[in-house]
Copies of this chain bind each other. A is one copy, B any other.
Amino acid sequence: MDINTVNSLPYEDFVDVFGNVVEKCPLITAAVWSRRPFGNLADLEAAISEFIDALPESGKEGILRCHPDLAGRDLRGGTLTRESREEQAGAGLDALDAAEASRVAQLNDAYKRRFGFPFVICARMNDKGRILQQLSQRCLNEAAAERTRGIEEVKKICNLRLKGLVRADPPNKL
């Protein structure tokens, strides 16, 4: 799909296509439809990013709380969104051994108790070893820093999901 096609979509189709570029937050996609036409993919991404940045801190925490745990109950129960399932599987999180699974569960719980939102990381930019290391380290952060970091990761995830849906602009011809 190219950007002209994107700009021609009625809001219902736009939300059908892009409603999960921020996990379980179709409100955001549905809101930025008001900003069309978009010049290119980066414009659409910027509109999403600006909408997120303008939310109160509770709203940013709300976005994070719409994300599933990594290797958590939604993965085990088969209730992940398609996008999350593919991303978690790609990082090897659906094939942890017993010791790894136990360690992740313990760290996820500690993280959520400390911050009141889940650990969010762009799984496609990491493998399971790196994810475990980050989870363990980020548990020690301050809440405000970690909220900021979580939202940065949400934007990385959004960037890759968008790129999977919209063709990048062709290079300029000479």
Contacts and interface: CB of A to CB of B under 8 A. Distances in A.
A154 B28 CA distance: 17
Q: Which of A28, A30, A33, A55 is most buried by chain B, counting CB atoms within 10 A of its CB? A: A30
Interface stretch (A59-67, A131-139, A157-165): A59-67
B116 A34 contact: yes
Contact of A61 (B24, B34, B58, B65): B34
Is chain A's binding surface mostly helix, strand, loop or mixed?
Answer: helix
Contact residues on A (Cβ < 8 Å of other chain), bracket:
20 to 34
Nearest to A63: B27
A56 interface: yes
Contact of A30 (B30, B31, B66): B66
A32 interface: yes
A29 B27 CA distance: 12
A48 to B, nearest CB: 11
Contact of A117 (B11, B27, B29): B11
A103 interface: no
Nearest to A29: B62
Interface string A10-28: 1110010000000011111
Closest 3 CB pairs of A and B: A31-B62, A30-B65, A30-B62
Interface of A: 10-12, 15, 24-35, 51, 54-59, 61-63, 65-66, 112, 116-117
10 contacts: A12-B65, A15-B66, A30-B61, A30-B63, A31-B55, A31-B56, A31-B59, A31-B61, A32-B58, A54-B56
